[in-house]
Structure formats: structure tokens, C-alpha cells
Structure 1
Amino acid sequence: MNIDFQIGWNAISSYRRLAYTAWHAIAEFIDNSTQSYINNHDALAAAYEAEGKTLDIGIVYNRDNDTFSIADNAMGMDLDDLITALRVGIPPANPHGRSKYGLGMKTAACWIGDKWTVRTTKLGEPVEYSVTVDVRKIEAGNGELEVKPRDAPADKHYTVLEITALNKPWQTRTLGKIRKYLESMYRKDFEDLGLVLRWQSQELGWEGFEGQLLKNRKGEPYYQEFSFDVDGRAVTGWGGILEKGSRTNAGFSMLQNKRVIRGWPDAWRPYAIYGDARNDLINQRLVGEIHLDGFDVSHTKDDILWGNDQESDVETKLKASLGHLISEARQFRKRDIKLDGGPSDGDVDKAVSAFQEELQSDEMIEQIEFEDIPDSEALKMSSQHLAEQVVAREKPSISAKLGRFMINVYLVYDLSPNDPYVVLETASAEDVTIIVNFSHPYVRTQIEGEEGVLNYLRQCIYDAVAEAKARSINRPMEPDTIKLFKDQLLRVPFQILEGEYRAQSGEQDGE
């Protein structure tokens, strides 16, 4: 006896529970657009030349209106293409490209929201088609979709996807991470395809790490390409040594079909090379890209699905191919850790002159003479209210247990510029909430680069931690006490560097 294998309509409801991140869900749509361009390169190249354009993808998320949209000017779809695109699990004509399983657009759209509309017209076809998918109706058993045609110029070509009834709002921190990940994912397309990718109307780009590599005495960067086979599949890429160590930037970006599957800011660190989450020189300095075409990839296209011994074989051969770089990256260089550094006399003189002018400015005098200070109880209530709002909607960017203190730090980008630069809230003597206002005018005009942000965070958090520690002792909170505690905290970065210096010097002595 034979039976038909059937999937119920309510299976579509499971899509909203898939293990997507916002950026990998959005990437499903970008993959379709870029693959459309790749599949129809010649026709689109001629069209773009006539239009004075290039491949353009615009993405907009509106939390207030509860909408998400993505529009491209790739080839577009005719009726047959659209029908195929809406069928679940039907692989595309080219299953070796970025669109692999015939699932991505459907699963990602349902993960983002419960109602979505596709509008599209194909280059050379005088018709635009639109269709709306209502997930709730399909769950209820109504899977019939109405395709609406209308006239369109034959020289137009686009696909627009609009999603409403979103399943959950994306917070400010998520929006920032979406930008970072999309820039990393499509790093090759910016150059190879001339892709213009816009997120929230802002054009994205990728600088890469090749320009940040350490150079030898001849001025040549520590950079090495590699190529080997694993399980009949070609593995290629490059490795290098960062001049300035950064655990955030180090690691390998895994690419397939020139699209990053996993990479910065969450790069792959093969255990055979990087070990178990250490913070040594290798984990701070070895960086690279590895192309893994032909290997299986997860449904959400965020990781490689290794088969048999593939992962260990790749790690072993990668380590052998980059042996010289790995050895060089482990070498201690005095310029990496400067225990006797600091600003030059000239730097100090320039800073003193600039600060002298700042102190004598009308604006500074106005602030010093300002005496309309709110009541201390009012200030406390205001800080408490602000902290409650932030904690209710955000997740801490930094969490750490410091002795008896539990520290949660929130980096907030949508506060008012008039809010304090840092807010301290202590629900109990040991529970410390710190809110850093990244909309403060000082951040927007004075802070640049990683070092600038790091030092600003130190100042804000050290101020708050010193105050929290002073509050916790059973005696009046004196300014000198707070300064003493902060002075001790300001010495911590030097003590860390001193410890690394000794550890690395000890490693060298033992080699």
C-alpha cells in the first residue's frame, strides 16, 4: 500500500521560528537579486549602459510603520519565474549559485512578517505582476494566491518585496549590526558586480583588512595566498597578519560563490590554528578569507555543513599552508605593546594650546557660570526613569562580574543629545547599570576611530564604576574617594599590557 507524503498548510507557521538573524534573513533577498544579475549579466549590462546605472538594491526598515521593503533593478521575473519563486522547495535552474534550495525568499519573508507582497517586471516583458502572501490565511488552509497583472514598459526591470505585520521590532543595536554584516557579506560584489547596496538610504561599502597588514623591513605586507583540495573540492583564499592586533578583526571569513557565509564581525577561528577562545597573538593578528565553493551550506546560509572529516582536513591543510604566517604572528614585537609610550612633547604642547582656547571660550564661561541646577532628587528620578526605559527595550552591550559588582553597560544611540553623557543606576549595592549616550555632542564631534571609542568608554564606565563603588561604602561619598577609585581603574589597561608583555617575553625565552 502506498501513501502520499503531504505537508500541511500550517507548516508555513514554523518559518517564523527558524534560526535566522535579521542580517541573514535579509541576505536571502539580496542573494536572489545578485544571482539574477549574474544569470542575466549580458542583457543587464546593456540595459545598465543605456540607463547609466548599475545593479542597485535598496532596503528600508520602518519600525514606526511596521514595514520592511527591498527593491532591486535586476532582471525581474515573468509569470513562470514568479510561480517558481513562490513554490516551496523547488530548486532554481542554477542550483550551484547563491539561491540553492528554493526556500530562501519564502522562509525569510515569513520569518520577518506575516504578510508580504511581490511586485516584479522582467526586462523585455510589458507586464508587471504582483502577488500577496498572507501567512495567517495559508495557515488556515487558504493557499490560493491571486496574481495581478498590469501593463508596464518593456524596458523596465525590477523586483520589489514589501513585508508588513512584522513579527518583532528590530532595536537600534540590531540595525547597526545589520549594516556591519551586510557590508561584510557582500564585500566582493561591491567591486566585482559594481553593486550599489543601500541600507536605510545609506550606501554600504567595504574597506577590508588588506590595507591593515603588518609589513616587513622591505615594506612588503605579511600576506599569503593558498590553494588546496579537500574531498575533491577546491579551497582557496589568503591569510595575513594585522599590524594592529584586534580580536574583533582577526579570524577567517568563509565565502561561497563570493558571498560571505560566516565572517567579520563573527569570523571563523579553526581550532587547529586559534585554539580554544584564547586571547593570544594568533587570535589578535591572524586574518584572512577562505573560499569554500562546493561544500554544503546551512539552510539559513550562515555556516558550512561539514561532512565526514572535511572540517579537520581543511584546518590541517590551512595550518600547513600558512605555517610561516602563523609562526610570524606568534612572534612578540616590542611595538605591539608599548609600556614606555605616551604622547610626544609636541603633541602635549598642541593639546595644551587647544585646551587653553577651549577653557577661555565664551561657551565654557557660560557653562561654569550656569547655576540653575535641578534638585538632586529630581536628577535621581530622571536618571532612574531613563534607565528603566533603556533596560526595558535594549540588551546590554557589555556585561561583567567585577568582584561583588554585576556591571551591565548599555550603549544607546537614540537618546537625546541633551541627555547626560553617562547614567548610573544601582538597583542594589551590587547591581550596577551604566548607560552611555552615543548621541551626546561630545561623541558626535570629538570621538573618532576604535581607540577614540575605547578611551571614551573607559572614561564613562570608570566614572560610573568609581561612583558606584564609592556609594557602596558606609561613609560619606567624598569627591576625593571617587577620584581615588577611578585612579585605580585607569591603571588597569597598563597592568594588562604589563602582564601580556611578561607572558610573551616568557614564551619567547622558552622557545
Structure 2
Amino acid sequence: MEVREHQLRMGYDGDFTFDMRPQAGILNVFSRLSYKPQYAIGEFVDNSTQSYLLHKAELIDSEDYYRLRIDIEYDPGAMTLTVTDNAFGMERDRFLDAIKLDAKNSDQMNSRNEFGMGLKTAASWFGSVWSVTSTQLGSRRRFKATVDIPYLHESGESDINIRVTDEPPYTHGTVVRIEKLTKKLAGRSIGKIKDMLGSMYRRDLANGDVEIMFNGQPITFEQFPILRFRDQQWKKPLDFEFDFGPEKHHVTGFVAIMDPGSFIKAGFALFRRGRVVIGGADANYKPREIFGNANSEISLKLFGELDLDDFPINQAKDGFVWEDGLEDAFIDALKMQIADFRKIADMTKKARMQESQLATPASNRVEAQVTDTITRLNNGLSKARDDAEEAQPEKADTSDAGESAESRYVQDYREMQREESKVPDELLSDVRTYPIKVSSTQAKTIEVRWSIESGEKWIGVTYPTDDSVAVTINLNHPFFKPYSREEDFQVVLEKLVIAFVASEEQAKLNSTQAGMIISSAIRSNMNRILYAMAVNGNG
């Protein structure tokens, strides 16, 4: 055996046999490991992506528009699974390490294939016969090894044949083919595998220079929508350390709030070496200490990506070895870092909407835009009013015949003027004040607030003083609700309400002694004010 290996290291050409050591019958045991299909396939993808990461510069220099491509082909009829890549490939030493049971090389330290066992364990878990074929970039040799587990088990042998053939120098990459599958992939599980692979390698896919295909269809990952609230996007980077025993553990990544939320997508994806260890659709990390009950608001909306590169990992690379208290220490440290995000995530959508619409920053923005319009409107309104007065209809007849009807109208009208808002303060925005000319000699101060109310009232009007009008606009009115979260709509609505109230005040100036108003007066006044706003106020 030593002579044969020495010959290999010295450049011996041609086919040869190789002792896998220890006895290859142990491969039978791998079929009983607690792998999940996506993590077993992930072992092959880890090898491909790690080969690419180690030799990225050489691969990019080797051809124009190079991209790493990994093709996963599952054939249920033939019961085969094949994983093909165009990564750097392997020359003889690395190739033998890949199939030798107790081999490990320096390239695997601090890498995705750190244990040096992934290819052997995953292939043996999936099927009873598997082969590896590889050619390194720049080499003219292709190496192929076939491992027949039942034969090796029955014969007690550990020697396998290595076939060496010539290849063009521009050929490179590795093919892992598994035959006589012992794990069958059903239709629904294939969809889950594709989703999980997209999640596991989301960062490689997001870079744009790695492509993973499953039966000819690209593996993808869709980024989650992030909440915008209180004039900020709710996503922030994380970078902190915490002590556990004599060691410090470093955590980086980000936390964010999803909008709209999703119980399936929410939670943390835990990364190690740029690849997800825990996470994916309906499989994200959701410790109760942070997320509360499964149906909580936090469990619906809080999410993030956390890098735990110096945390110990299990052999299958689908979990961390932290049952000794490390997980509890991690949760406590993380909880302190994201307290503000937990608080916002715990708010209901209704509570956020109310705060967003009624908050001071939103109120100030609308006030600034409307004030600009009203200022220029007042400067240009005099001419429009002079023109209107020439066409003003005659005042209504004030004969005794209509006096009783007028009195009843005035009584009702004055009763309406005494109306007071019953809306709680927490459902009201700040007051925005707009002075507006209602005649050449008289101005009114219109005070506007937004409210979030139920019921059919779209505006409420009161009269705090003779020179002021207080208006409450109900943004929760069913007619406005589909649009009222949009700031542009809020500005238009506010201008419309001001025009309406100012039109009423102008009409009152031309009312009868009993307070009667010509039915068309408000409409006519509003036509003129809206036109003046458009001509003079929207510059």
C-alpha cells in the first residue's frame, strides 16, 4: 500500500487501485445517519462552492463571463442523483482525499467542508453505489472512482479502482453520481428541497456569480419586504460579542421587520461560513424567549440573518452543538441587542397605521406642503373673489312667509356648531393651522387634525372662536381608507377640506339675516377656491 501511494505522489500515470481505509464496510452505517435530503445535497453544493471560493481568481481568469454552475439532476425512474459543477476540480492528491474515509487537508480548515466527510457520508446515505469524476483546471487528466457499498461490505475489501483518462486542458469540474438510490424524493419533498437550497445558499445566489439548477430549473431565493415606519426602514446591522466560559463568541448579521408579515418566513436564519445551518421556509430559528408564542405579532414579522462562524457545528451541518448553555447565552445577548425591534414588531398593523398617520413627522410634512399652497392662494384669491362678487346671486327673500322655516334652520345650524369632538387624544394628530382669507377684510384660521375613527363621519367641524374653525378629518372613513396611508393623497384631501370649509365661511357671509344660504353658494365658492388653488397655489 505504501509503495502504491508513493507511486501516486510521484506522478505515476494510468489506472490504479486505492485503499480507502479504514474498511469500506463502514459506509453501510452512513445510510442510517439522520440526514435530511436538502442537507445531504448541501454537502455536494458545499464542496462545489468551496472549490470555487478557494480558486475564484483562477476560474474567472480562465474564461470570459465565468459563473459557477451546479446542476442537480434527480431521475426517479433510473433511481439516480447526479451533481455536476464547473468549479476548479481536483488533481490526484485532492481527489484521493475526497474519497478516503479518514482524509483531511489544510484547505478544509475554516471552510464549508471542514469535516472532510461530507461527500462520503451524503453519497452513502443517498444510495448504495456512487462515483466521483473530476478534472482540475489546467490538468489533462480526469480521475474517476466508483464505490459499490454492497460489494465492499460483502467482500470485506477496501480497495477501489481509480480510472485515469485524458482530457482537454480547458476542462474542469466535478461530477458526483449516485445510483441505486435508497432515499426516494417525492414531488412535494422536491419543492421543499429546492426552497431550502435557495435559502441555504441565498448569499451565493445573491452575488450573481453562482447558479444552482435542479432538474433544469434555477434555484432562487426571494428577499423579504422590509417595514418602513417612523420615517425609517426597520433593518439594522448587528455586530456584538458575548462571553461564554473562557471564550468570546462573535455574532454579525442583521435584524429586520417584515411587511407584510409571514409566519413561515419570519425568524432568524443562522449562518456559518456564508451558508445557512438553521433556517428556511417554516424552519427559521424562533426561540420562545424572543418570539413568544407561535402566533404572536413578533413571530409574524421579526426576521434576520445571523453569522455564527465561531460556534461549534454538528457533523450533518444542520445544527449547532450548544446544549451546554451556549444557546441560552446567545439568546440572552441577542435579545438585548434587538429590544427596540421586538417592540416595533409587537405592534399590530392597526397600531402602526394609526401612529404613522397621526405622528408628528407625517403631520409636519403635510402641513408644510399645504401651507405653501395656502400662502400663495391667499395672495391670488383677491382677484378671484372680486370677479365672483360681480356674479354673486341676489340674496334670498326675507319675507315673513319664510321666517318660521328660517328660524328652524338657524336653530339646527347653531346646534351643529356647538358639536364637540369625542375622539380620544391618542387617535388624533397634531393640530395644523392655516390662516385663509374668506373676504377682502376678513380671515379665518382653519385648524386641521386627522383622526382614526369608526362610523360614517368623514369630517367634524367646531368653532372654538369667532375667527377660527376646527376641522377633524377621519382618515379611517371607508371612502378614504384604501388611499389614506398615501401622503400625496393626504395632502390633496387636506386641501379639499380647507376649500370646503372656506367655501362654507364665504357662503355664510352672504346669508340672510336668519342665516339662510343659497343652495348653490357653497358649490360656487368651492369652484372658485379650488380653481385658485390650482392656478395660484400649486406652483
1:223 pairs, out of 220, 229, 235, with: 235
1:309 pairs, out of 306, 315, 325, with: 325
1:142 pairs, out of 157, 176, 179, with: 157
- The code of the aligned residue for 2:81 comes to F
2:135: which partner in 1? 121
1:86 aligns with 2:103: no
Cα distance change, pair 137–318 in 1 and its aligned pair in 2 (3 A): same
Scaled by the length of structure 1, what TM-score is found? 0.62
> 1:232 aligns to what SS in structure 2?
strand
Deviation at 1:308, TM superposition (A): 3.3
Scaled by the length of structure 2, what TM-score is found? 0.59
1:202: which partner in 2? 217
1:105: which partner in 2? 119
- The code of the aligned residue for 2:303 comes to V
1:271: which partner in 2? 288
Q: Which runs of 5+ in 1 are unaligned?
A: 1-5, 339-511
How far apart, in 1, do the equivalents of 2:101 and 2:289 lie? 39
2:35 pairs, out of 11, 20, 38, with: 20
Deviation at 1:40, TM superposition (A): 1.1
1:61 aligns with 2:74: yes
- The code of the aligned residue for 1:312 comes to D
How far apart, in 2, do the equivalents of 1:28 and 1:78 lie? 20
Asked if the contact 2:22/2:101 (under 8 Å) is kept, the reply is no
CA-to-aligned-CA distance 1:340-366 (integer Å, 9 cap, x gap): xxxxxxxxxxxxxxxxxxxxxxxxxxx
> 1:297 aligns to what SS in structure 2?
coil
- Give the alignment of 1:86-485 within 5 angstroms: 86-94=99-107, 95-140=109-154, 141-192=156-207, 194-209=209-224, 212-218=225-231, 220-230=232-242, 231-265=247-281, 266-275=283-292, 277-306=293-322, 308-334=324-350
Give the structure with higher Rg (CA).
Answer: 2
How far apart, in 2, do the equivalents of 1:7 and 1:149 lie? 23
Asked if the contact 2:226/2:259 (under 8 Å) is kept, the reply is yes
1:76: which partner in 2? 89
Greater alpha carbon shift after TM alignment, 308-317 vs 68-77: 308-317
2:402: which partner in 1? none
Deviation at 1:89, TM superposition (A): 3.3
- The code of the aligned residue for 1:197 comes to I
CA-to-aligned-CA distance 1:292-334 (integer Å, 9 cap, x gap): 0011111111111116332111111111111100011112231
How far apart, in 2, do the equivalents of 1:9 and 1:73 lie? 29
How far apart, in 2, do the equivalents of 1:35 and 1:179 lie? 20
Cα root mean square deviation, aligned: 1.8
> 1:146 aligns to what SS in structure 2?
strand
> 2:59 aligns to what SS in structure 1?
helix
- The code of the aligned residue for 2:88 comes to M
CA-to-aligned-CA distance 1:126-155 (integer Å, 9 cap, x gap): 111111000111212122111111110112
Deviation at 1:336, TM superposition (A): 8.1
1:463: which partner in 2? none
Q: Which runs of 5+ in 2 are unaligned?
A: 1-20, 355-539
> 1:124 aligns to what SS in structure 2?
coil
Asked if the contact 2:23/2:157 (under 8 Å) is kept, the reply is no
- The code of the aligned residue for 2:240 comes to F
How far apart, in 2, do the equivalents of 1:130 and 1:118 lie? 6
CA-to-aligned-CA distance 1:245-292 (integer Å, 9 cap, x gap): 2211110000001101111210011232023x5311111111111100
> 1:282 aligns to what SS in structure 2?
helix
- The code of the aligned residue for 1:331 comes to M
How far apart, in 2, do the equivalents of 1:53 and 1:17 lie? 39
Cα distance change, pair 145–7 in 1 and its aligned pair in 2 (3 A): closer
> 2:159 aligns to what SS in structure 1?
coil
CA-to-aligned-CA distance 1:152-188 (integer Å, 9 cap, x gap): 0112111011111000321111111111000000000
> 1:123 aligns to what SS in structure 2?
coil
How far apart, in 2, do the equivalents of 1:8 and 1:153 lie? 35
Cα distance change, pair 103–184 in 1 and its aligned pair in 2 (3 A): same
Tell me how many residue pairs correspond in the alignment. Answer: 327
Percentage identity across paired residues of the two chains: 31
Asked if the contact 2:195/2:221 (under 8 Å) is kept, the reply is no
